[in-house]
Amino acid sequence: MRTRLVSWLLRFYPKAWRAEYGAELASMLLVRPLGAAIVIDVAASGMWQRMRAIDASTAAGIGLMLVTIAALVSNVMAPTGYAFSERIDLLQRPMRLELYVLVMAGLGFWTASRGNHWPGRAAIRASIIASIPLVVVGVLMWAGILSFVELSPGQSPISTDGGIIYAFYKGQQQIPGPAPLVMVLSPLLRLPGAWLWGSVGGWLGRTYADWRRRPISA
């Protein structure tokens, strides 16, 4: 029972950390009384180590994913027409949104200035992670759990059938509403933009790193 609890607690830590320190920590836990305070201490420390092990592209992707989830939830729970154009852009046209572009370019800058040769790839990874909620929405649409209403400028977002509604806001161009397949494939549609802005940030990051390393003239 105790061995199983210790082995469960060690799973909170990343694999690389366990390979280095796991045996030591386990041997300490096996001979020490395991009260609630110790269990919480070890679990919290493990989660902290996991957070430290996350690379920049995953962290940026998770951050954008949380923002996307918040926008999706607010879209479903309280569709408010065209009042919050940033929210609409985040869900439908993220590459037009300064926040998205800044995160991609910032990530490219960060990774390239630390010697990563593939800043565009890091931005693509972040963009894919950020798009996961939209894929889930597409699957829910496919399964008939989530329906959507198409709204034109000036149209009220109030629905009539009482189901879970995803409000899709048409722009000035009369583009068709999102088919489930389009939602599921939306991460792919964002890749070129993510790569482009990640690479632009990467170029700036490399330039900055070269400038930092320049020899100081007398």
Is residue 49 involved in binding other proteins (CB under 8 A)? Answer: yes
Q: How far apart are CA 164 and CA 152, in angstroms?
A: 19
For residue 208, the minimal CB distance to other proteins (Å) is 25
Interface residue with other proteins among 3, 7, 27, 80 (CB under 8 A) is 27
Kindly indicate which of the ranges 21-29, 105-113, 178-186, 199-207 contains the residues binding other proteins, using the contact rule CB under 8 A.
21-29
Is residue 80 involved in binding other proteins (CB under 8 A)? Answer: no
Is residue 31 involved in binding other proteins (CB under 8 A)? Answer: yes
Nearer to other proteins, 36 or 216 (CB): 36
Q: How far apart are CA 18 and CA 16, in angstroms?
A: 5
Is residue 102 involved in binding other proteins (CB under 8 A)? Answer: no
Contact 172, 88 (CB under 8 A): no
Nearer to other proteins, 51 or 189 (CB): 51
Interface residue with other proteins among 3, 7, 15, 44 (CB under 8 A) is 44
Is residue 8 involved in binding other proteins (CB under 8 A)? Answer: no
Is residue 19 involved in binding other proteins (CB under 8 A)? Answer: no
Q: How far apart are CA 105 and CA 152, in angstroms?
A: 32
Interface residue with other proteins among 3, 7, 17, 86 (CB under 8 A) is 17
For residue 57, the minimal CB distance to other proteins (Å) is 21
Nearer to other proteins, 24 or 161 (CB): 24
Q: Phi and psi for 197 in degrees, rounded to 5?
A: -70, -35
For residue 184, the minimal CB distance to other proteins (Å) is 40
Is residue 10 involved in binding other proteins (CB under 8 A)? Answer: no
Q: Where are the alpha helices (DSSP H) in the chain?
A: 2-10, 15-17, 23-31, 36-53, 56-77, 85-92, 98-113, 119-142, 180-213
CA distances from 109 to 17, 67, 115, 193, 198 (A): 28, 21, 10, 15, 7
Is residue 5 involved in binding other proteins (CB under 8 A)? Answer: no
> Residues in contact with other proteins, total (CB under 8 A)?
23
Longest dimension (CA), the chain: 76
Q: How far apart are CA 117 and CA 15, in angstroms?
A: 25
The residue among 50, 44, 41 whose CA lies nearest residue 18 is 50
Interface residue with other proteins among 41, 55, 86, 210 (CB under 8 A) is 41
